[in-house]
Chain A
Amino acid sequence: MNQSQHIFGSGVVFAVGVWVAWISYTQAPAEAFLFPRLIASVFVVLAGWTFGKAVLGLSKVGAGISRSLCLNMLPGLAVMLIYVFWAAKALGFYTATAIAFFILLSLYDPAPHSETRTWVKRALITACFVAVMYGLFALLLSVYTPREILF
């Protein structure tokens, strides 16, 4: 992992540490922030140490994020974010799960995309999985989940 990645990663953690410490020492009532102050102090010291090591080029631990890893992950991450933060509530859990599941399978399945057989297989796996989820959560555990479109 290159030095700039180390600096960026530990810099973000250090910034969070400073923010936590600032809130802990400035917010009232002081009694409620007694324990957070204790943690924040240690947090800032350790984060500062890590950041300092990264700036000096002494950080060795961590594989970092390569360009290819990012490119591979991004489509899946995007589907995941849409599924979790919008689709699950807006479309209903089961509809959103079916769509997200099918897209993820299509994106990452190593089987060829040019064959009808593989698409049928993906659709069948999706249908079976959503049926199992419905059976488990709606029927067996009686968990109510948002249902907007279809079910």
Chain B
Amino acid sequence: MDFIFYFGDVFSPLSFLLLLGGTVGGLILGATPGLSPTMAVALLIPFTFHLEAVQGLILLGAAYTSTVAGGAVSAILLKIPGAPANIATTLDGHQMAKQGQGAKALQLSFLASAVGGIFGVLLLIFLTPLLAEWALAFGPSHLFWLAILGVTVIGSLDSASVVKGLLSGCIGLWLATIGFDDIMGAQRFIFHPSLGGGINIIAALIGLFAIPQVLTMFAKGRRSAGAEVIEVQKHSVLDATRELLRRPLALGIGTITGSIIGLIPGVGGQIAGLVAYDQTKKFSSEKEKFGKGHSEGVIAAEAANNAMVGPSLVPLLTLSIPGSPTAAVLLGGLLIHGIFPGSDLFDNHPDVAWTFINSMLVGQVLMCLFGLYVAGLAARVAQVPQSVMAAIVLALSVFGAYSVQSSMGDVYVMACLGIGMYFLERFGFSAAPLVLGLILGPIAESNFIQGGMIADATIGKASYFLSGGLNIFLISVVVASIAYSGWMELRSRRYTTKEEAQA
């Protein structure tokens, strides 16, 4: 119950102002097609440099929460999911909007998001200390395997091709070794002065998430104007609340599915929304209404994608393993403020950890309140032509990367990584495992070296890294996640080939 002691800190004037700003800004960013929560949070990190760690995290946490919810606005009114997490919302949400129930769909989505989100953060509050206590038993070999687990799980589950996903993770791990090594002080892979200090994580995050999006907008050419928005008629919030309460099945399935999926590293909001939608449809007594503008579809999808936000931070705060790409960006935000998440986070920085978590709880309520009233405005923002969006994101990326260390080298690194990532994405590689490799690389290497030293003095490297219950468990999870993803990939390919043959 430690979190209660730090609840008041959320309401200090600056913290609350940042929470408000992050929430409203996040709703608007989320509603803008092409701006994913990960990219929005990455672009916001430079704005936190001049803030205290806790205030910076409040801003980032609020933006994370509300961009996921804000994505429902464009999903419902434009049929363009603001983020992948909102894909399931488009199925019934847009149909409702077309039938003149846009306001009702938006209200239901924000109310369901708040219920799911609050449940998810409560899970974060109660699960995190338990896991953090368990994580105290972790030694260097376990931390090494955990870092590898983080990269491989995201690499295998988040990518269309397991091998390309794992390869992306390898590229990230290699990029993390650029610069001077910590033990010998030797130069590694430095072929330009800009790389002398290694790759700055924030510049890299901005480049890897924002620049490919800018190039994608360029690639659409002059046809990429803002989409037509369906007009939103007025609808009573009270009626929407009654409707939500009449649909406990959709709300319950959405919330629970989202929370469970959030705990699994790498699975993400997209899967949470789609699984919740599918399960609700299976259990619903009105199956035939799904896909034709049924409120249960919107409720289940939105409750699920916001319920996964809190639990996706559990592995990050306890084991330093980000559960999602956005959590990886948040890890970058923590590291830049000198806070290293893990087992001792709650002992060394309880004020930062608990105030951040509490702010997410308050943020869910604010998100709902603002969402209900500024959804119309956010929808207007979604009409901004993509040419303007691309130019804005490019300039913000340059300023953001420069402001990390006032170095042009960081801007060059940001641009090179971003352009490289765009082409890699076109060839089936993904950014998330690459980013995780980059972030978890130093953790993996330091524990590998440290573990190696202990092993040399005791039982030998092979025994130290490959024996023991926890090591074997972690290695098994690494192997199982790769094998499972490989099997799923093979199965979907066989299914596609069979369908092609039948066609």
Contact = CB atoms under 8 A, between A and B. Distances in A.
A34 B427 CA distance: 30
Given A43-B167, A72-B219, A110-B225, A143 B181 contact: no
A69 to B, nearest CB: 5
Interface in B93-136: none
A101 B164 CA distance: 35
A73 B184 contact: no
A17 B225 CA distance: 40
A20 to B, nearest CB: 6
Interface string A112-146: 00000000000001000100010011000111111
Nearest to A62: B428
Interface in A14-67: 16-17, 20, 23, 27-29, 31-36, 38-40, 42-43, 46-47, 49-50, 53, 59-65
A2 B477 CA distance: 36
B408 A61 contact: no
Contacts of B370: none
Contacts of A110: 222-225, 385, 387
B50 interface: yes
B210 to A, nearest CB: 12
B395 A35 contact: no
Contacts of B225: 110
A91 interface: no
Interface string B429-473: 100000000000000110011001000000000000000000000
Interface string B373-404: 00000000000011110111011101100110
Interface size class of A (residues with CB under 8 A): 35 or more
Given A50-B163, A88-B408, A108-B224, A34 B452 contact: yes
Contact of A39 (B174, B217, B221): B174
B405 to A, nearest CB: 11
Given A29-B186, A80-B214, A141-B47, A50 B399 contact: no
A112 B490 CA distance: 48
A7 B148 CA distance: 28
B218 A77 contact: yes
Interface in A72-97: 72-73, 75-77, 80-81, 83-85, 88-89, 93, 97
B174 A36 contact: yes
Contact of B163 (A16, A23, A46, A143): A46
Contact of A31 (B163, B184, B388): B184
Nearest to A8: B427
B495 interface: no
28 contacts: A1-B427, A13-B429, A34-B452, A35-B177, A35-B448, A35-B449, A38-B448, A40-B174, A43-B167, A61-B159, A61-B164, A62-B164, A62-B428, A77-B215, A77-B218, A77-B419, A84-B411, A97-B398, A100-B394, A100-B395, A101-B395, A105-B388, A110-B224, A110-B225, A129-B392, A141-B47, A143-B406, A144-B406
Interface of A: 1, 5-6, 9-10, 13, 16-17, 20, 23, 27-29, 31-36, 38-40, 42-43, 46-47, 49-50, 53, 59-65, 68-69, 72-73, 75-77, 80-81, 83-85, 88-89, 93, 97, 100-101, 104-105, 107-110, 125, 129, 133, 136-137, 141-146
